[in-house]
Each structure stands twice: as C-alpha cells, then as structure tokens.
Amino acid sequence: MSFSFASLKPEDKPVLIASGFVLVILLVGTVYTMATQGSAPLLSPNYLLQQLQTGSFLGIVAAGMMMVILLGHIDLSIPWTVAAAAMMATTVGGDMALPTGIAVGITVGLVNGLGVAYLRIPSMIFTLGVDSVLRGLMVWHTGGFAPQDQATPIMRFLAADKILGIPVAIFVWVAVSLVIVLILGRTAFGRAVYATGNREGAAYLSGIRTRWVIVGAFVISSVCAAMAGILLAGYSTKAYQGMGNAYLLPAIAAVVIGGTRILGGQGRYAGTVVGVTLIVLLNSVLSIMQMPEAGRQVIYGCVIVGMLLVYGRGNKVVS
C-alpha cells in the first residue's frame, strides 16, 4: 500500500477533503441532536433523502454552472433563467409545459453564448445584463405578481413524488449528473471545454472551434437552470417572482468548494456533487440547531473561506 495523501492528483484532493467535511458536519449535527433531543434524525435515510430532494434543485443548477466555470466564465443569469422557465412552463401548461421551459433555457443559453463568444463581452457583465432583461420580461409578463397558473401534473410528479421511496427529483439529478459526466469525460466536446478553459488561444490554434464550445457550455448551463426552475415550480405548485435568487451564489460556492478552479480548466464533476451535498447538509444542520440567519451567514462564509484555504490556494507570482 503506497497510498499517501501527497500522491493524490491535485483535482482529487478537494473531493476527498470536502467529503471528509461532509462527514464532520453529519457527526457534529448528530452529536448535537443526541445531546439535546436524544435522537439522531440526521442519520435516518428518510431525512437524508428529503434533504437531498431539496438539494437536487441546487445540484442541477450547479451542474450547469460547472460547465461555464470550467471555461473560466461565469453565468450570472441563473436566477431569472430559473424563474422565466418556471413561469413560461406554468403559463403554457398542458403537454407543452416541459418543452416550453427547456426552450426558454436553450434561448437564454444561446443569447449568453453568442454575446460572450462572438461579441467577446466579459461573461460577468453580459449575463448580468441578460438576467435583468429576463427579469424585465417576466415582470412585464406577470404584471409583477406571482402568476396564478398551477404546475402541471407531470411537473408535480418530477419534483414531489416518490418512486420506491426515493424522491423523483433525485432521479432527475442523477440523470443530469450522468449526462454531464459523459459529456465531460467521454466526448470531444468535454475535452474541448477543459482545453478552452486552460488557454483559449492554444485551444483555437489546435483546431478547436472555441467559440462554439463557449456557446455550448452556456446552453448547457441555461438548460440546467431551466430544468431546476421547472422542478422548483412543481415542488411549490407554482412559479413566483425571484424564485431563482437563492440559487446563484450557493451554486458558485458548491462548484468552487468541489475543487473546480474559478479561472477554468480544472475540476471534476464528483467534486461539484460533494460541494452541493456539503452546502445542503450544512444548511439543514444549522436549521436543526435553530441558528438565526445572522449566524448562518457567518458560518456559511467561514466554511467557504476555510475550505478554500485548505486546498484552493493559488500559486505565488514569481515572474
């Protein structure tokens, strides 16, 4: 056994450390509940599945966000892509609800991708602009109120029902994860994403059509956000204003905690899954402890900084 920590690949280290931290969170939470209530709800499968069900929305958003971050870009249009997809899906309703929501995602992704790849506008500001345009369109469409349309039965099924005792939403998350893993690991497009994220000029010179790679990654990100929006509308039976606001920063945090480099070119999907789990469990343990919002924010921030200080440090500039 020549296994040692130092021999790990740099992209595997964060996954292991973050997994370890997930266990620490579970342990601390369990010790707390044992001490105060004498029971261990955190370790019961039902509770964990319920947490993962709400976590699957974040997981799907983070999966898409990871594609964009791997390119060294960022997608700030997530919040209103989520809301727009949910609102359009519930408005159209019937059999066309799901395709409509996905179509919203594809459209937003194409706009984002074309703006970033062809106009070369920094993604930070272009997606921000697209986000506020989407917000404007939705306020115009709904009159500024929560739309009255109900989620369709199939949306309810995907988000809130269970198969064999396991929430369907988790199956959706697993399916999305499989697709992303296959894309990143087994297709030319996936390799092109890593190459473009490392150095776009070099990738271009080696024959990769980097602009289409960027467009593709943004489309995947927006479609994932749209799917999360559809599920979220199904979960809460309707769409509402600002429903996606709570997903942007946690998604970025989950991707980065999972060891994906914010400058692009490096990162594993397993890390993102661990990052999402970490954030979801941290939230649920803090709510079990009845931590006020103030304390939650502080702990949340400290955990991100702490994790990054352990393995996210950059290189010293020496030349």
Partner 1 sequence: MNSLLSSLAISMRQNRGFYGALFLLSAIYLIYNILHPRGFSSAVFVQNANESVAIVFVAMAQTIPVLMGGLDLSVGAVMTLASCIASVLVNGSPLQIVFGMIVTLASGTAFGFANGLIIVYGRLQPIIATLATGAIAMGLALFIRPKPGGDIDGDLNWALTNSLWDFVDTYQLFDPDALWFQPIAWIPTPFLIIIVVAVVVWIPFRRTVTGRTIYAIGSAEGPAYMSGLPINRAKIAAFTLSGFFASCGGLYLAIQTASGNADITQAGAYTLNSIAAVVLGGTSLLGGIGGAIGSLIGALILRVISFYFRILSIDPLLQPLVEGLVLLAAVSLGAIGVLRVKNRLDLFR
Q: Name the minimum Å distance from CB 122 to partner 1.
A: 4
From CA 244, how far away is CA 104, in angstroms rounded?
A: 15
Residues 156, 231: Cα–Cα separation, whole Å: 8
CB of 71 to partner 1, least distance (A): 12
Q: Closer CB to partner 1, residue 97 or residue 116?
A: 116
Residue closer to partner 1 (CB basis): 92 or 249: 249
- Residue placing its CB nearer to partner 1 in the complex, 159 or 304: 304
Q: Give least dist CB 107 to partner 1, A.
A: 15
Residue 200 or 277: the one with the smaller Cβ distance to partner 1 is: 200
207 sits in the region (left: phi over 0; alpha: psi -120 to 50; else beta) called left
Instruction: Tell me whether strands 162-163 and 166-167 are parallel, antiparallel or unpaired.
Output: antiparallel
Is residue 244 within 8 Å of residue 229, measured between CB atoms? yes
Q: In the bound complex, what is the minimum distance in angstroms from residue 317's beta carbon to partner 1?
A: 5
Q: How far is the CB of 282 from partner 1 (least distance, A)?
A: 12
Binding positions for partner 1, rule: CB under 8 A: 74, 76, 115, 118-122, 124-126, 128-137, 139-140, 143-144, 199-201, 204-205, 210, 242, 245, 249, 252-253, 256, 262-263, 292-302, 304-305, 308-309, 312-319
| Tokens found for residue 11 | 């992209």
Q: Which is nearer to partner 1, 167 or 250 (CB)?
A: 250
Nearest distance from C-beta of residue 219 to partner 1, angstroms: 19
Of 20 and 136, the one with the shorter C-beta distance to partner 1 is 136
State the nearest-atom distance from the C-beta of 134 to partner 1, in Å.
Answer: 8
The dihedral built from the CA positions of residue 169, 173, 178 and 180, taken in this order, carries a sign that is: positive
**From the CB of 209, what's the least distance to partner 1, in Å?**
12
How far is the C-alpha of 272 from the C-alpha of 250, rounded, in Å?
Answer: 11
Tokens 């500001």 label which residue?
Answer: 125
- Give the residue among 254, 248, 219, 229 at the shortest CA–CA distance from 131: 248
Q: What is the closest distance, in whole angstroms, from the C-beta atom of residue 115 to partner 1 in the complex?
A: 7
Which of 118/178 has CB closer to partner 1?
Answer: 118
Residue 167 or residue 265: which is nearer to partner 1 going by CB? Answer: 265
